[in-house]
Structure 1
Amino acid sequence: MMQISGSFLTLILLWITQGTPVTHPSDQSPAPLEADLVVYDATPAGISAAIAGRRAGLEVILISPHEHLGGLTTSGLGATDVGAGSTVGGIGREFYQALREHYDSPQSWSRQKKSDFKGRGHKDGEDVAWTFEPHIAEATIESMLKKEGVRVLRNSPIDRTAAATTRSIPWRLIGLRLKKGGMVRGKVFIDASYEGDLLPLAQVPYTVGRESNDQYEETLNGVQNGRATKHQFKEEVSARVDPQDPDSPWLPGLLTPPHAEDGTADRGVQAYCFRMCLTDDPENQIPWKKPADYDASQYELLLRQYDQGSTFTPWHIVHMPNRKSDVNNNGAVSTDFIGGNIGYVEGSDEDRARIYEAHRSWQQGLIWTLAHHPRVPEKVRKSVNRWQPAADEFTDHDGWPWRLYVREGRRMVSTVVMNENHVRAKVTVDDPVGLASYGMDSHNVHRRVIDGKVRNEGDIQVYGFEPWPISYRAIVPPPQTCSNLIVPVAISASHIAFGSARMEPVFFVLGESAGIAAAEAIRKGTAVQSLPYDELRPLLDKAGQRLQFQR
C-alpha cells in the first residue's frame, strides 16, 4: 500500500500554512447553527451518514445545496450500477428493500401491470429493487430521514472560498459558512459531495484528473487511446469543418495534436451527462423542446456518421417501472458531453452554473437533432420520438433531471490510495469499511484529432474480478492534517480504481461507515485518523455492513 513520505507531508503542510488563509467566524454573522455531526451534500453517502449519526445518538445537520435530496439516485439514475448486490448492507440495503416493498404492491403500478414489467433489477428471490422511478426514490429517502429526525438545510450552498479552522497541527474544521449567511459548526464533518468540496476548505491534499500508470504501478490509468474501443467512432469522421479542405477549421470541441502518450497523467475528467427519465406512454409525456440556443453545427460529428450509413440510435435505454426508462450514454456521440466539463471541478459557483447549463443545452440539442434533423434516418427519429420526458418526474424542472451526473470530481490523497492493484487483489487492506464490486469503468475524457480524423479517448471497461475492500484510511485525511473530516465519496483512490468504487450503492455503504466512525470519534474524543479499527469494526458489523465477500 502507498504511504505518504515525510518529505511529501512537509510539502503539504507548507502549502497549507503558506497558501491557504485560515478564517474565523465574523462577529457580524448570524448566530451559528451547532451540531455534533455536520454532513455536506445529500447524496446517498450523505443520506446514510446522517442516518447513521442519528442512530448513534448524535445531533446531525445535513446541508444540501439543492432543494431535492438523494443525489443522482433521485435525479434519473434509476438503473443502479450495483455489481454484486450481496455486498450492499446496512442503510443502503434498507433503501433498496423499501423500494422493493413499494413495487411488490400492485397499487404501485399505475401505468402498466407488474406482470408486464420485463426490466432488470426486480429478481425473484431478492429482497431489493435495483431499478426504480426517481420520485419514488425521493419519497423513500425523505421518509427515512424524517423517521430518524435528521435536520436538513435545503437550498443551502456553502461559501466555497473560506471556512473556519483551528491553527494547530493537526487542525480541526470548526464550521462551514452558508452563502445565504450564517455558519454551521460541528464536532466532525463529512464531505459527501460528488465534487469533494470540503477538501480544499479543510486544507486536505487532493488530486483532479488521471495519474500516470507509473505512479501506482497500474496498467489502466492515464491517457487511454489504444484501449478506448467502446463508445468509439466506427467510421472515419473528418475533424475539419470542410472535410475536403485540409486548411479548414477544426470542428468544435476537439483536442488537436500534439497528444500525450497512453498511460501518462493529465487533468482530464471523464464526461458528465444528465440521466434522463423518459417514457413511452403518450399520456405521460412532455414533448421534446428545441433549445433556444440550438445550433445544428454542434452535432456535425453525429450527422456525419449518419451520412456514412449508420442507423444506430445513440442511447442506452434501461426499462423502469410504469413504462419509464433511465437513459444513459451509448455510442461515439451520445448524451456524454465529452470535454464539456473542463473547469467544473475546481470552478467557482458561477463557473459550475455555466457548465451545467452548457451540458443541458448540449444534451437537449442532441436529442432535438436525433428527433428532427433530416440527416438523421427516419428509423432513428421514430425511435427517439417514441420516448419523451416523463411528465410526472422532476415536475418543478420541466421533466429534466435536477442534477448533472458528476461521475468524478476531486479525489483525496491520503496514506492509502486505492488503486488498480487493490481492485485486482494484488494488494489488500485490513481495515475495510465497504466493498466495491463494479468493473473499472471510465467514460471518455476527450475527443482528439488523430491524422485528421476524430477519435474519442479515455473509455475503459474492465471486468472479471471479485468485490474488493476499501480501506478506512482511504476515507480519512492523512495524519497531521484535518483531524475531524471524513470523506466517503471523493475517496483516496486513483482514477481507475475510483472507476470501480464510484457507484451509488457503494456511496450508501461508505457514508454509513463514515457516520458510524464519526460518532465513535466524538464519543472517544479522538481524531478520526486515530480511531482504532478493531473498535470500529464491531460497530460496522452490528449495523449490517458487509465487509467480506461471501461467494
Structure 2
Amino acid sequence: MDFSNLHYYVPTPRAYDPKVIKRDLIVYGATPAGITAAIQAKRMGMTVIIAEFGRHIGGMTASGLGASDSGAKEAIGGLSKDFFQELGKYYNTAEQWTFEPKAAKYVFEKWLDDHKIEVVFNQHLERVNKENLKIIEIMMEDGTAYKGDFFIDCSYEGDLMAKSGVTYFVGRESNATYKETYNGIQFGHPHHQFKKWIDPYIKPEDPSSGVLPGITDTTHETLGYHGMGDDRIQAYNFRICLTNNPDNRVPFPIPPSYAPERYTLLLRYINSGVWDTMNLHIMLPNGKTDLNNYGGFSTDNIGMNHEWPDGSYETRERIFQDHFTYNLGMLYFLANDEQVPKPIREEVREWGLARDEFEGTGHWPHQLYIREARRMIADYVMTDHNCLADMTVEDSIGLASYQMDSHHCRRVIIDGRVYNEGDVEVPISPYPISYRSLRPKAEECTNLLVPVCLSSSHIAYGSIRMEPVFMILGQSAGAAAALALQLKTTVQEVPYDMLKKELLSHGQVLQWDDSIEDDPVSRMKSTFGKI
C-alpha cells in the first residue's frame, strides 16, 4: 500500500518569483467553514480566494466523517442545509444525512466551480503583517503574499488568528473560570470507560516495570481534582471509511513503524471479556461505514495530541503520523495478531479500507480529526451557560444543537487500575451562537473573523464543534465581512440588525422554536452517537 502522499506537512521551497495575490477577502482554510464563507462573500460582491494549508478541500466532512453530527436538523439552515440537499440530489433522495467521503468532495468541488472560487493548495502560513490593528497581508512559506481588506481564519488550528496576535486559550478552563459545571478535569463519567479492572503495568501488579503504552504514569504527575483547569485537549483520531464489500475491500495493511505492544492494553481488555472497540461503526451508503471511537480502548489516541495546537508544522507532522500508525496498526493487530481470539480476528477481517475512497493516500483519510485546538478569547466567550440555556445572546448568527461532548483527554492510573479521564456527554437544546464570539477584540484586530476556533470554553466548544455548525458560522462570517466592506467599517462595527437581515434572507436559522422538539434527551439519543 502506498502511503507516501499521506502527510499533514511537506515543506514547500520558496519560489524564485513569489506571487502577490490581492482580493477583498482572503479565506485561510478550505474546510467546510472556509468554503461557505467564500461562497457567501462572493454572492455579496466580494472578490475571494481560499489559501489551503494541505492538498485537499472539505476538511473532516470530506475525510471520513460521513455520519453527520447534525443534532437537531431543524436548527440547520443556509448553505449548511443546502449541503445535505445537494447530497440528496447525489443519492436521489430529498436530503441525505449520511454520505461517502467522495460524495461530500463532489458537492464541495461543484460549489467552488459554480461560484468560480479559486483554491491555492500547500499554503503554509509563515507570518502575518499588520498595521494599525489591521492585517495587511499574510505570507506563506513559499513566499506567496495574500493582501486583502478582510481575512477569515477557517483552519481547525486557528493559525492565522494566533499569528495575528489575537488572544487565545488551549486546554480546559477550570469550572471557576467562567463559573461552569462541566469544564476542567472530569472524573466519574461512565462514558467510554474501561468496564473491567485492567492492570496498567508492563508486568502485571509490578509498578516498577513501568506502564503500558498510552498510559500517563501518575507517579510523576498529579491527578488533579474534578473541575480543575489544565492544558490538555480532547483526543484526536481518524474517521475511517471501511467496507465489507469484497469487491471494494482492501485488507488492512501493516502500517509503517508498526508496534504490536501498543495494543497490549487492548488485548488485556479483550481477554477480560469486553469486545466493543469497533461498536461505533455507522453505516453509510453503498456498503461503507464511518468508524469512530467507542469504549475504553478504540481509535482515539488518548493523550498523544497535546502538542498539536501550538506545535510547529514538523511537530504536527510527527503527531499526524503517530495517529495514522496507531489507528491503522490497531486494525491490523485485531485482524492478524494470533494473540487476538480467532472469532474477533475473523470479524475484523470482514472489513477493509474502501478501494474507491482516498485513492491518492492509500485509501486512508487525509484529514486528522482535530476535535479542538486553539480557541479565541473575544469580547464574548460561549460557555456551558449558553448550552444549558441559563444564558442567551441577542446577536445570534446561527444555532448549535449537539450535546456538550468532550472525548477523553488522558489515560491514567487510579488505585492500580487504568482509567480514562475527560469524557463529557450532556444533552442540550438548540441555542444561539453570538456574533461577538467570531470577532477578536477591537484592540487586537479589526479585519479578522474566526468561525472555527471561535471564542468558547472547552466544554461549550464540545457542543459547537460540529461540521454543519462550522458551515453555518462560515457563511455568517462571510456575510459579516461583506457588510464590513460595503460599509467601510471594522468587523466589530458591523450593525447586527443589518447582519441579521442578511442572514435570514439566505436561509440561516437564528432562533430555536421550542415547539419543534422539547425532549433534548430523546433527540440526542436519536443522533449518530459520539462524535
Q: Structure 2 length normalisation: TM-score?
A: 0.92
State the distance in 2 between where 1:183 and 1:267 align: 33
* Alignment-derived partner of residue 487 in structure 1: 450
How far 1:292 moved relative to its partner? 3.1
* Alignment-derived partner of residue 386 in structure 2: 422
Contact 2:276/2:294, CA 8 A, preserved across alignment: no
* Alignment-derived partner of residue 510 in structure 2: 547
Q: Is 1:138 paired with 2:109?
A: no
How far 1:31 moved relative to its partner? 4.5
Paired letter, 1:215: T
Q: Is 1:206 paired with 2:194?
A: no
- Between 378-387 and 337-346, report the one with greater CA deviation: 378-387
Paired letter, 2:330: L
Paired letter, 1:142: E
Deviations 1:472-505 (A, max 9, x none): 0000001211000000000101000000000000
- Secondary structure of the residue aligned to 1:101 is helix
- Secondary structure of the residue aligned to 1:249 is strand
State the distance in 1 between where 2:56 and 2:279 align: 26
* Alignment-derived partner of residue 14 in structure 1: none
- Between 356-365 and 286-295, report the one with greater CA deviation: 286-295
Match of 1:477 among 433, 440, 455: 440
- Segments ≥4 residues shifted beyond 6 Å: none
- Secondary structure of the residue aligned to 1:508 is helix
State the distance in 2 between where 1:99 and 1:441 align: 26
Q: Is 1:262 paired with 2:229?
A: no
Contact 2:18/2:142, CA 8 A, preserved across alignment: no
Match of 1:411 among 355, 375, 387: 375
Contact 2:100/2:288, CA 8 A, preserved across alignment: yes
- Secondary structure of the residue aligned to 1:36 is strand
Contact 1:313/1:383, CA 8 A, preserved across alignment: no
State the distance in 1 between where 2:380 and 2:370 align: 24
Contact 2:251/2:351, CA 8 A, preserved across alignment: no
Contact 1:78/1:133, CA 8 A, preserved across alignment: yes
Contact 1:307/1:375, CA 8 A, preserved across alignment: no
Contact 2:152/2:450, CA 8 A, preserved across alignment: yes
* Alignment-derived partner of residue 129 in structure 2: 164
State the distance in 2 between where 1:346 and 1:472 align: 25
- Between 85-94 and 262-271, report the one with greater CA deviation: 85-94
* Alignment-derived partner of residue 322 in structure 1: 286
Paired letter, 2:474: G
How far 1:30 moved relative to its partner? 3.0
How far 1:217 moved relative to its partner? 1.0
* Alignment-derived partner of residue 528 in structure 1: 491
State the distance in 1 between where 2:120 and 2:256 align: 34
Deviations 1:195-237 (A, max 9, x none): 111121111100001000011111100001222x111111111
* Alignment-derived partner of residue 8 in structure 1: none
Q: Is 1:514 paired with 2:502?
A: no
State the distance in 2 between where 1:298 and 1:60 align: 46
Contact 1:306/1:375, CA 8 A, preserved across alignment: no
State the distance in 2 between where 1:418 and 1:57 align: 31
CA RMSD in angstroms comes to 1.4
Contact 2:66/2:101, CA 8 A, preserved across alignment: yes
- Secondary structure of the residue aligned to 1:497 is helix
After superposition, the Cα gap between the structure-2 partners of 1:394 and 1:470, relative to the gap in structure 1 and judged at 3 Å, is same
* Alignment-derived partner of residue 357 in structure 1: 321
Q: Is 1:459 paired with 2:447?
A: no
- Between 291-300 and 386-395, report the one with greater CA deviation: 291-300
Deviations 1:74-94 (A, max 9, x none): 000000011001111111111
Alignment of 1:377-388 (within 5 A): 377-388=341-352
Alignment of 1:48-67 (within 5 A): 48-67=36-55
Paired letter, 2:204: P
- Secondary structure of the residue aligned to 2:137 is strand
- Secondary structure of the residue aligned to 1:381 is helix
Match of 1:374 among 338, 344, 349: 338
* Alignment-derived partner of residue 149 in structure 1: 116
Contact 1:431/1:533, CA 8 A, preserved across alignment: yes
State the distance in 1 between where 2:417 and 2:198 align: 5
How far 1:374 moved relative to its partner? 2.2
State the distance in 2 between where 1:97 and 1:324 align: 20
> Which consecutive unaligned segments of at least 5 residues does structure 1 have?
1-25, 106-126
- Secondary structure of the residue aligned to 2:486 is helix
State the distance in 2 between where 1:419 and 1:202 align: 24
* Alignment-derived partner of residue 10 in structure 2: none
Match of 1:78 among 66, 89, 114: 66
How far 1:29 moved relative to its partner? 6.8
Paired letter, 2:44: A
* Alignment-derived partner of residue 358 in structure 2: 394
Deviations 1:94-146 (A, max 9, x none): 111010111117xxxxxxxxxxxxxxxxxxxxx32110111111011000111
Number of equivalent positions? 497
How far 1:368 moved relative to its partner? 1.0
State the distance in 1 between where 2:472 and 2:347 align: 38
Deviations 1:258-280 (A, max 9, x none): 21101000010100000011111
State the distance in 2 between where 1:266 and 1:246 align: 26
Q: Structure 1 length normalisation: TM-score?
A: 0.88
- Secondary structure of the residue aligned to 2:85 is helix
After superposition, the Cα gap between the structure-2 partners of 1:312 and 1:379, relative to the gap in structure 1 and judged at 3 Å, is farther
Paired letter, 1:207: F
Q: Is 1:220 paired with 2:182?
A: yes
Match of 2:196 among 235, 244, 255: 235
Paired letter, 1:494: S
How far 1:315 moved relative to its partner? 4.1
Deviations 1:437-458 (A, max 9, x none): 0000000100011122110000
How far 1:311 moved relative to its partner? 3.5
Paired letter, 2:139: R
Contact 2:201/2:210, CA 8 A, preserved across alignment: yes
State the distance in 1 between where 2:207 and 2:258 align: 27
Alignment of 1:104-119 (within 5 A): 104=92
Paired letter, 2:419: R
Contact 2:240/2:364, CA 8 A, preserved across alignment: yes
Q: Is 1:193 paired with 2:155?
A: yes
State the distance in 2 between where 1:352 and 1:99 align: 32
How far 1:414 moved relative to its partner? 0.7
Contact 1:36/1:188, CA 8 A, preserved across alignment: yes
Contact 1:313/1:380, CA 8 A, preserved across alignment: no
Match of 1:334 among 294, 298, 303: 298
Paired letter, 1:173: I
How far 1:528 moved relative to its partner? 0.2
